[in-house]
Structure 1
Amino acid sequence: MNFNPKKKTSNFILLIAGFAIVSLILWNTNSFFRKFKEEERYKMEIWATAQSELLQSSATTELGNLTLKVFQSNTSTPMILVNKDGSIRVNNMPQEILQEKGEIEKIMKKFASENKPIIIEDNQEQLATLYYGNSEVLNKLKYYPIALLLIILLFGTVIYFLFKTNKASEQNKLWAGMAKETAHQIGTPLSSLLGWNEMLKTENINPDITIEIEKDISRLQTITERFSKIGSLPKLEEHDIVEETQKAYDYLRLRSSKLIQFSFDSKIKKMPVLLNQSLYNWTIENLVKNGIDAMKGKGSISIEIVPEGNHVNILVSDTGHGIPKNDFHTIFNPGFTSKKRGWGLGLSLVKRIVEEYHKGRVKVLSSSKEGTIMQISLKTNT
């Protein structure tokens, strides 16, 4: 969220300026269109005057040079001349149109809607009616504002996505920096806890206590390692996918509610895969915890490992309320959450770890009111 009033003011000023520029361009284009249309109307009135002279002249009368020049100069405006005897003549249009009476009437109606017909008369006697349409240049000019708006819209869309991408990049850098700083801050008290635990071992206390403290310290070290890897490319090493998944499974099973029934099944005994142990375990934990939340702390969680060609699939199933089909892809977007409290980062981290770091795939395999199956697919190292 942006709380900088100066930035908001500048954005508002830019928006108003952009709107003003677009409005000015459209107004100027519209004014130019009207002016051009008026000039074309004036030319057609001159042509109609010349036509009046032609209709009044006898066969032996010679037309003046100016009248001839008027007829010869107009080669772009489509015209239909209807004489008082009903005969029709077309200019700057295919002559074949005259053979189609229905078509010529449609064109006359179209011309009349574009421009008011000009009545050619002499001494209040109507000699003919001139119907004319917009010239090719005027028709192109008519669509110019639309083309201009589309260009501006396209330009604005490109700028918006560039800004959005840049903002997302800045946010990613911020989150990565915060994660690394968190890992750094945890490191100091963690080192102190290690020292205090060693001192406790020298005292006459139950050794089970120090063993459990060591487990929690190890857990904090794992969390610190995970946060330190955010924003950087982690190192992948060959590990047994069955063993690593079993580790994550055992850790969660021992620390979860007794109301949750856990089951683990692998169709293979061993399968080497290039992994980052810490991040992979984090992925399994996130999927299992999401399943537990979906079941509201009561139900069944199962993890199954199934080989498929040169890939291995890890299936995490729960008996929760399910995911709507139209949310199958959006649940992996940062910020998406169906919980009242939550940041919506768990599944987005899962997607990033699996697809960006491990070059695998993660998806909702199936979901209904009876539960959901999430699938991770990784390439084997065999």
Structure 2
Amino acid sequence: MEFYQRNRRWKLLLVLVAIIIGAASFIYTNWLARKMAEEEHRSVALWAEATRRLSSPIDTPDDNISFLSHIVESNSDIPIILTDSTLNILASANIDYTEARKAQNLQEELQKMISEKEPIEIILSETETQYIYYRDSKTLQNLKYFPLIQISVIALFIVVAYFIFNASRKAEQNQVWVGMSKETAHQLGTPISSLMAWIELLKTQDIDPELIREFEKDINRLEKITERFSKIGSKPELSTEDLRKTIVSTVTYLQRRTSQKVRFEMRFPDDKSFNTPHNPALISWVIENLCKNAIDAMSNAGNISLSLHDDDKYIYFDVSDNGKGIPKTQFKSIFTPGFTTKKRGWGLGLSLTKRIIEIYHQGKIFIKQSEIGKGTTFRIILRKPVFFNKNLKY
């Protein structure tokens, strides 16, 4: 649990840093855009004053006329329309239009300018006033859109980095699991062989046969566990068998090795088969994991219910308990490697269970429902033989 939370904190920290960088960039770019807009307004005001003075050359010294003309002609970026007091267009600059639709294009542009910015007055005389309408230059418009583009790029980077990080982490975990599993299977082989020899020796002694049979069952169980570990990392062999038989076999074994305060209830018809392609050893491992988690959740006293039903395409297998329940915030994270609420354990049981069901058996496992203090139901969905290897949505 602590390892999982630490990894999660690092992820949240990286996302937070990226958000802070994006927000700071957004704020700075907006500030820069406002400054540029103010500068463009001053430029248009200067252009308006130059136009007013050029309209009254008598009041303007000859040596300033060329300078004012330069100011008027220097605007090559800011779209401008000059009108009289009745909004008749007198002149325009930096506006794209077609000759065939010049009047219409200019009127459309004028309406946009009227809705965006206050015009600048040019008072030529007591009876004559002109107005300059304008809008942001293309450079300023692009600058305003830049923060959105920047945030989109940052968001895309975060998403790509997250998926690459997850893929890399999963690949590393897979290698660790495969190596650990195969080494465990190898290490178990020698003591199991030795135990089998001792069983054969005990059979020659005056030992209760029932006791020897129980020893043999446990050794067979160890062999199955070894087989499970040896299959991790390689594609398991699936055979179309009755899932009900696998469940009954697993529960029968667990019942004799579990506290009598734990009651197992199997709810499915005895006269109906639930055939699905599966590996009995691996599915038995899944059932054991779910049942052992249920027993821990019930503090070794309570009821575990296992039920089966089906429809045309799928078989639904539910495992329910009346334990302490799981918070909704943990419904997805509980299957994450390293996540555990126990003081002991590596938090790999449910993650391996999910891997067995979803990768090896093309199925689905999830928490169907859970309520604090009342219990939890895990649901497993497996395909019927005719729909195996088909792209179906659950």
TM-score normalized with structure 2 length: 0.70
User: Residue in 2 aligned with 1:320?
Assistant: 323
Partners of 2:29 and 2:147 within 8 A in 1: no
- Secondary structure of the residue aligned to 1:321 is coil
User: Residue in 1 aligned with 2:117?
Assistant: 107
Deviates more, 1:131-140 or 1:40-49: 40-49
User: Residue in 1 aligned with 2:164?
Assistant: 162
1:225 aligns with 2:227: yes
Partners of 2:199 and 2:216 within 8 A in 1: yes
What amino acid is the match of 2:377?
I
Deviation by residue 1:254-290 (Cα, 9 ceiling, x = unmatched): 1110111222232243343322111011111112112
Name the CA shift for 1:161/1:263 in 2 (closer, same or farther; >3 Å): closer
Q: How many aligned positions are there?
A: 349
CA distance in 2, matches of 1:44, 1:353: 73
CA distance in 2, matches of 1:168, 1:312: 29
Name the CA shift for 1:299/1:136 in 2 (closer, same or farther; >3 Å): same
User: Residue in 1 aligned with 2:383?
Assistant: 379
User: Residue in 2 aligned with 1:7?
Assistant: none
Partners of 2:54 and 2:69 within 8 A in 1: no
User: Residue in 1 aligned with 2:7?
Assistant: none
User: Residue in 1 aligned with 2:101?
Assistant: none
Name the CA shift for 1:206/1:165 in 2 (closer, same or farther; >3 Å): same
CA distance in 2, matches of 1:260, 1:105: 75
Deviation at 1:252, TM superposition (A): 0.8
Partners of 1:48 and 1:118 within 8 A in 2: no
Name the CA shift for 1:179/1:118 in 2 (closer, same or farther; >3 Å): farther
User: Residue in 2 aligned with 1:235?
Assistant: 237
State the Cα RMSD in Å. 4.6
After superposition, residues 63-142 of structure 1 pair within 5 angstroms as: 71=72, 74=75, 76-79=77-80, 91-92=92-93, 94=106, 104=114, 107-108=117-118, 134-142=136-144
Deviation at 1:327, TM superposition (A): 3.9
CA distance in 2, matches of 1:136, 1:367: 57
User: Residue in 2 aligned with 1:283?
Assistant: 286
Q: Percent identity?
A: 39
Deviation at 1:223, TM superposition (A): 1.0
CA distance in 2, matches of 1:208, 1:268: 28
What amino acid is the match of 2:368?
L
Deviation at 1:218, TM superposition (A): 1.2
Q: Which runs of 5+ in 2 are unaligned?
A: 4-13, 96-105, 387-394
TM-score normalized with structure 1 length: 0.72
Partners of 1:279 and 1:353 within 8 A in 2: yes
CA distance in 2, matches of 1:132, 1:377: 64
User: Residue in 2 aligned with 1:331?
Assistant: 334
Name the CA shift for 1:104/1:52 in 2 (closer, same or farther; >3 Å): same
Deviates more, 1:27-36 or 1:222-231: 27-36
CA distance in 2, matches of 1:256, 1:37: 79
1:306 aligns with 2:309: yes
User: Residue in 1 aligned with 2:358?
Assistant: 355
Partners of 2:40 and 2:78 within 8 A in 1: no
CA distance in 2, matches of 1:364, 1:164: 23
Deviates more, 1:67-76 or 1:163-172: 67-76
User: Residue in 1 aligned with 2:176?
Assistant: 174
Name the CA shift for 1:57/1:165 in 2 (closer, same or farther; >3 Å): farther
